[in-house]
Amino acid sequence: MEEYLLTPNEFDLFRKLIYKKVGISLADGKRNLVQSRLRKRLAHHQLSSYQAYYDLLINTPETDCEWTDFINCVTTNKTDFYREAHHFKFVAEQFIPEVTARAKTAMGSPRIRVWHAGCSSGEEPYTLAITLQEALQGRGTWDVKQLASDIDTQVLAHAEAGVYDLDRVAPIPQPLLSKYFLRGTGPNSGRVRAKSILRDQIAFRQINLLNSPWPFSAKTQFDIIFCRNVVIYFDKPTQLRLVDRFTQVLRPGGYLFLGHSESLLGISDAFESLGRTIFRLPEGVAMKFAA
């Protein structure tokens, strides 16, 4: 593939475009990264400059799949099963006993609603699905649903298929791997697929977190929002708006999990910090939005 250089001016054009469409705020030092991420779009269209690709893009209707390909190129999708494992331990050891105690007074099957805002290729929602399955065993019938969303359609398709190479599933303890995944054979040997007991718990959807309104009912109340290693790519005003919108779809007493290098310092004081990037929306907060 021919190597073309992304000039500082071209970088600036793309940087503004990426910020506007995805919210990702790119520092000056990210010129090489953008150059290498977009190289394949130039090759695909047989273009010989980044300016030519920029012109092509901004003259393309927003509904065209070129925009999807562009966005899929610029996102960073690093993820793992059991990434930041203490979050899953917290769900099993603190959240589940708490909701189980509350469920004793509830009518019908008690519900758990979770949103993974920025789920990448699905390792995070599948890890939580295993955690919930295991923790709810022997605790009666539960109505558990997870919404897993991302802006990137390529990783979402991977997540929805639930198929992973064996090296990707290495963090899953062997007994849980055998219990919740099927081993591929023939052309699929060396891979596993999540069983339907996990897949049926999760709905995958493309959602751009910047878009408003989000495509779910105004009455939606999640018990848990995972938004881990996503806001790190956003600037402060974008983080502020996003976290404020999370408070409106999180049940009072619900939990927000952020990534290891993210915090709510200077972003929101609506949450109580429980340490290790676990935040709780106090019960009283509902009143703020009740009018």
Q: Which is nearer to ligand SAM, 24 or 250 (CB)?
A: 24
| Residue 124 DSSP SS3 | helix
Instruction: Let me know: does 135 contact 176? Beta carbons within 8 Å.
Output: no
Q: Which is nearer to ligand SAM, 77 or 100 (CB)?
A: 77
* From candidates 99, 257, 259, 264, binder to ligand SAM by CB under 6 A: 259
Rounded to whole angstroms, how far apart are CA atoms 132 and 144? 8
Q: Percentage helix, strand, coil, to 5, in the chain?
A: 45, 20, 35
Q: How far is the CB of 26 from ligand SAM (least distance, A)?
A: 12
Q: Which of 150, 152, 199, 223 is catalytic?
A: 150
Q: Which is nearer to ligand SAM, 228 or 285 (CB)?
A: 228
150 is catalytic: yes
Tokens of 29: 């030092």
Q: Is 17 in the site for ligand SAM (CB under 6 A)?
A: no
Q: Is 229 in the site for ligand SAM (CB under 6 A)?
A: yes
x/- track of binding to ligand SAM for residues 64-103 (CB under 6 A)? -----------xxxxx---x--------------------
Cis check: omega of the bond before 213, within 30 degrees of 0: yes
x/- track of binding to ligand SAM for residues 138-157 (CB under 6 A)? ------------xxx--x--
Rounded to whole angstroms, how far apart are CA atoms 46 and 16? 24
39 is catalytic: no
Q: Is 230 in the site for ligand SAM (CB under 6 A)?
A: yes
The string of DSSP codes covering 78-112 is ---TTTTTHHHHHIIIIIHHHHHHHHTTSSSS-EE
Query: 233 vs 15, 118, 213, 241, CA distance in Å?
Result: 12, 12, 21, 14
The residues assigned a catalytic role are 37, 150
Positions in the binding site for ligand SAM (CB under 6 A): 22-24, 75-79, 83, 118-120, 124, 150-152, 155, 208-210, 228-230, 233, 259
